[in-house]
Amino acid sequence: MRQKLPKIKRLYTFMLQSFLPLFMMTFFICLFIVLMQFLWRYIDDLVGKGLTVDVIAELFFYAALTMVPMALPLAILLASLMTFGNLGERFELTAMKASGVSLFKTMRPLIVLMTFVAIGAFFFQNNVLPIAQTKMWTLLYSMRQKSPEVEIPEGTFYDQIPGVNLYVEHKDPDTGMLYDVMIYEVSKGFDNARIILADSGKLSFTENKTHLFLQLYKGEQFEQLQSQSAISSSGKNKTVPYRRESFSEKEIRVAFDANFSRMDESTMQKQYVGKNISQLLETIDTINQKVDSMGGVYAKDIKEAPYFGIPYYKKKYVNHKLTDVPQEQVILKDTLNLDTLMMAKGNSYARTYITQALNKAKRHKQDYEFKSLSMKDQRKSIRRHDIEMQKKFTLSFACIIFFFIGAPLGAIIKKGGIGTPLVISVILFIIYYIIDNTGYKMARDGRLEVWMGMWISSAVLLPLGIFFTYKAMHDSALFNMDAYRNFFRKVFNIKDSRHYELKEVVMEDIDVVKSIEKTDLLQYKCDQLLKHLIQMSYQRFWNNGVNIGLINEVVDELEALIATLANSREILMINKISQYPIISSSRLFEITKNKHIAKWMMIIFPIGALAYWLTKQNIDDLIVKVKMAMKVNQDVIELLNKHKDNLDDRKNVNLLEDDEN
């Protein structure tokens, strides 16, 4: 029988159908946003150049390819957050878990997809991105070098034409005529400037767009004829002649290349942005060899440099051959007095010696600084190539990390749509971008190793992804505000007030006698706790601590009494038990559980005093609540005694009625 191919599970197709449309949408949105950032950054290089639409479209196409490494991780994070947030909001994740499908199994098809995306991102970085970056930067530099489009303003001087300042009072946009024209031609220098005034004129380009053609009507030309001969041999200025010319029509041609010419791409291909991994490795090895060779040459020059006029080598016959061998170490028999040597021929010679020594030291310093700068440039080039190589791996890893952050986070917060996921995605991506950019700059400047600077962002976010995945797998209420609110209320002993209402139906009446016994017991426990808390000094606190057991006993007695009295049929009793404060133990009381730590905290006074002060605030608050509980409890006792007396009176009345009957 023919073996059937295994069918893809319906869950997997459902997850892919849920994720892929969102991923494509968020990717193009993110790509558009970063492309607008690119446009905003380089808008000055594009505006006013008269560039054609096809050239600008080509630049944007290659810029979009260059921006893929920035848009892809953000798109994955946002899409995964939205996908799992939608599933959680519609309780589909809950249904899957109830059916025995774990979150990891739900994520499995998308994990496989992200693996393929990461592999594709690596090949894109290695094969496509160098070509796109080469073409983009070549186009951008070509646009920067293009002359701006001639757009003559009214009422101001226009200086974008080389060697010419042009002023126009008014222009007709329909005919292109310029009126009240003033031209300062300073191509031969300000001393030989030519000034032209005309009533009107018209500006146009030659056919090859390499020259500007000015047709002027009814005007005058003033030209200064100063030359080198205008200055006499005595150094005094002669009278400078000038020429004045009136014209009814005049033509002027000015060199101005308005064509767009592309740079050669070979220059950019030699840069680190235009190389793949194999080319980067080859360049790094070549520069390393060059640096090692230069270092060896510089070290040899320093080692073999002559000192005090004594050469490092001397001629000597070795095996009947005249060869250079190092000089033997020169040892002075007596101590040399430099002051005596300097002053041997007088002060003038001493100053000469010092001047020559300083000049020689400056020459050596400049030589070493130049060599140091050349070595620094080579090492910087190595770092830039190494950074570009590390980028080809970090993008793929970032895609996987952002998925393992976004998918569990979406399952935890259970918020779909684009609002909450967008805010969280932007915050996380900004954190990633700041860390990544900081690591990049530190690696570029040599403050960190290249691999450390380029992988620091991934190293920071990887534990975050593991943490979110772990929490999502165990159904943690990570973003449950009520849980955090209850935690801080317990730490700082903050509780809501009680509120009870008279029950419409009471199944069991209160036992007054037992209730009075409970109130007496509560009063006794509160009195014990109050004495214990009032006596809580600094030394007693660190030696004995707060009696948490006694606090819990008071809490238990109080809650049991309130549970009993809540069945009362009297509105006064219900209102009174609502006045009982909510008593609880603070987490700060537990810091004295470990006796060794408590002892050291008491000895280290600044830290111990601060901890005691924080705890004392909770103790004082607890004292106030215990006093209030005792006061309310006394009122409850009085109400219970009145209720008991009423019951006794009713019994006596009933007995008398029975006797009469």
Among 68-82, 393-407, 604-618, the range scoring the smallest mean pLDDT is 604-618
pLDDT at 116: 93
User: Whole-number mean pLDDT of the chain?
Assistant: 77
pLDDT level of residue 24 (50, 70, 90 thresholds) = very high
Buried b / exposed e over 561-600, threshold 16 CB at 10 Å, is bbebbbebeeeebbebbeebbbbbbbebbebbeeeeebee
Q: Alpha-carbon torsion 500, 502, 508, 511, what sign?
A: positive
pLDDT at 323: 72
* Distance between first and last Cα of the chain: 102
Task: Please check the confidence at residue 165 and state whether its pLDDT lies above 90.
Answer: no
Residue 409 contacts residue 403 (beta carbons within 8 Å): no
Q: Say how many residues make up the chain.
A: 661
Residue 523 contacts residue 637 (beta carbons within 8 Å): yes
Residue 428 contacts residue 80 (beta carbons within 8 Å): no
The rounded distance, in Å, linking the Cα atoms of 432 and 460 is 8
What are the pLDDT digits (tens) for 544-585?
888 888 888 888 888 888 888 777 778 888 788 788 888 877
Return phi, psi of residue 195, to 5°. -115, 130
| Cut 0.95: pTM above it | no
pLDDT level of residue 479 (50, 70, 90 thresholds) = low
Task: Please check the confidence at residue 7 and state whether its pLDDT lies above 50.
Answer: no
Mean pLDDT over 463-469 rounds to 87
Residue 622 contacts residue 552 (beta carbons within 8 Å): no
Residue by residue, DSSP assigns 396-426 as HHHHHHHHHHHHHHHHHH---SSHHHHHHHH
Task: Please check the confidence at residue 141 and state whether its pLDDT lies above 80.
Answer: no
Alpha carbon separation from 249 to 172, 216, 220, 255, 426 (Å, rounded)? 19, 6, 10, 20, 65
What are the pLDDT digits (tens) for 254-308?
766 555 566 667 777 778 788 888 888 888 888 878 777 777 777 777 776 776 6
Task: Please check the confidence at residue 150 and state whether its pLDDT lies above 70.
Answer: no
What are the pLDDT digits (tens) for 354-398?
888 888 888 878 877 777 777 777 888 888 888 888 888 988 899
The rounded distance, in Å, linking the Cα atoms of 231 and 233 is 7
The domain ranges of the chain are: 10-146+388-473, 157-230+238-255, 499-660
Q: Strand ranges (DSSP E) for 175-256? A: 177-185, 194-205, 211-224, 242-255
Q: Which two tokens stand for residue 176?
A: 């292109």
Mean pLDDT over 457-484 rounds to 77
pLDDT level of residue 484 (50, 70, 90 thresholds) = low
What are the pLDDT digits (tens) for 300-344?
777 767 766 677 667 776 676 777 767 766 666 777 677 777 777
**Which residue is listed with tokens 């050469």?**
311
What are the pLDDT digits (tens) for 575-624?
887 888 888 777 777 777 777 777 777 777 777 788 888 888 888 888 88
The rounded distance, in Å, linking the Cα atoms of 594 and 607 is 16
pLDDT at 119: 92
pLDDT level of residue 639 (50, 70, 90 thresholds) = confident
pLDDT level of residue 4 (50, 70, 90 thresholds) = very low
Q: Which two tokens stand for residue 574?
A: 């219900």
Buried b / exposed e over 7-24, threshold 16 CB at 10 Å, is eeeeebeebbebbeebbe
Mean pLDDT over 414-424 rounds to 75
pLDDT at 1: 40
What are the pLDDT digits (tens) for 208-249?
666 677 788 888 887 766 554 444 444 455 555 667 777 888
Top-confidence residue, 362 or 174? 362
Mean pLDDT over 78-85 rounds to 88
pLDDT at 383: 86
